[in-house]
Structure 1
Amino acid sequence: MIFPEGVAFCSFTVVVTSNVPGSYLNDTTNFEDQNNIDTSQTNAELTVLDDNSNVDIEILKSVFPQEASIGDQVTFQITATNLGTTEATDITILDVFPNGMNFVSASTSIGLFDDVTFIWSIDVLSSNQSETLTVVAQISSSTALLNTALLSSLNEPDRDDTNNRDDAEVTIDDCIYITDGLSPNNDGLNDTFHIECIEEFPDNNLKIYNRYGVQIYGSNNYQNNWDGRANTGLTRTSNALPVGVYFYILDLKTGDEPRTGWLYLNY
């Protein structure tokens, strides 16, 4: 063992491999190549206990409804079950709350839920006992809607760590609705080309063409502000475009095919 210059002490971790209960002494006789380090006072005793526990915590998660719209409320249910044959104690379960939702409320069948840390604490789960945490959330975005629950800590060894986490994800239904026209006459009605829910797709790209196939408008991150004026092409002008039918291509940049259609410009 070699200490770097300026270091007076160190700590290290060892893996207990013994399967025989008893006391194990770690003293100076276990050190080699001490390099002028005095280990004569080194003495640590480890007691290995016979663990008779048989605990297996299973975490399951579900959500209803699985498909929703922005603004809707959904309900997540987390179920914790002790599949083992002995009781489990001091259990904590972490709910990884998604960024695309707002927390509304929570209730538990047993234990305490902290709505700041999103940790569910359970004192005891007997063999084959199941308990639930119910979380109500409101959808605020079309993305980041995966909710994960996982076993965070437990007093006893968990015999199967493959069932210690589960997740549930909400799918947003098609909230995009494209109006078929606009009338920018400052009457407060349909003054711009409005696309419902477009703010949920900030990478969107919108192109609008006249009936001759000439692009007269283009926008990345379109924000419902086209008022019938051209910003590209030969017809680029600060004046209002003529009444008529125009063709649009809307790419939401989601990997799906762009949406296309006709719109009518009137005054």
Structure 2
Amino acid sequence: ELSELTNYSIWIEALTQNAWDTGAGWGLVLTYAIYMRANEDTALNAFVIGFGNNSMSLLAGIMVLCTVFSVMPVAEAEAMLATSGNEGLTFIWVPQLFQQIPGGQFFQALFFLALVFAAWTSLVAMIEMASRLLMDLGFERGRAIGIVGVAGLLLGIPSALKLEIFQNQDWVWGVALMVSGFFFAFAVLKYGVTRFRETFINQSGSDIQIGPWWDWAMRLVAFEAVFLAAWFLWSARSDDFRETWTLFSPYNVGSVVIQFVIVLIILLLLNKRIASAVQRGQEQPAAE
């Protein structure tokens, strides 16, 4: 229904899901950039990442939705999809699809094996990103990886044990990707969007040359983040105060704001210590 396009959550969920999938706003691409060659084709890599991820996501979504409507009456399928989240469609309905085809168990095993490898490769990038941060603070690589792995395991236990916590954290830090993406876009605008494109993207030897349209796309990204954030906050003005301003209620404004403020306060309190540690970590290799 076209009326759903007036619902802010549709736009935020779409934006944050795409940011989550492609690594935009995470800092994952920056982490990968550490290992890139000086003459790497940035534009081509960005195109392949975006096109490959989004096209596969679209095909997977079509497959799951078609499976749901093929094995259930239309009315029941619509009701189920309207009330279900995004946590179980693949694991519930893909097996039912494979049951309908010859050799389904074999292909189902291959499908979920590929899904496991996809998850692991994403996890490698996430661990590497956090490990690089600790290495900048002066930690050795092995110790940094160990700390990140243990911390990720411990912090993930509540989400693994309770679906509501998982939904809340997925929502809160999905919105954080939008905020983080805004700061990336703002940094580019501050540097000079045209100068950034000509200096870092359109390098000699690139197969794809990005035109001036990219400058306006970056401005649109910054505007989009600000507009959606304002829309998100404005939508809470008429909601029940107790339901809105709770810490671990999924999909509300208060949960996002409260957790953002808590993390921001912690980072501000540790800012000088972190800055000093980063400076020492950068000086140690030079001294060696």
For Structure 1 versus Structure 2, the TM-score category normalised by the shorter chain is under 0.3
Query: TM-score scaled by structure 2?
Result: 0.20
The structure in which a higher percent of residues are strand is 1
- Structure showing greater radius of gyration is 1
Pick the structure with more helix per residue. 2
TM-score of the pair, normalised by structure 1? 0.21
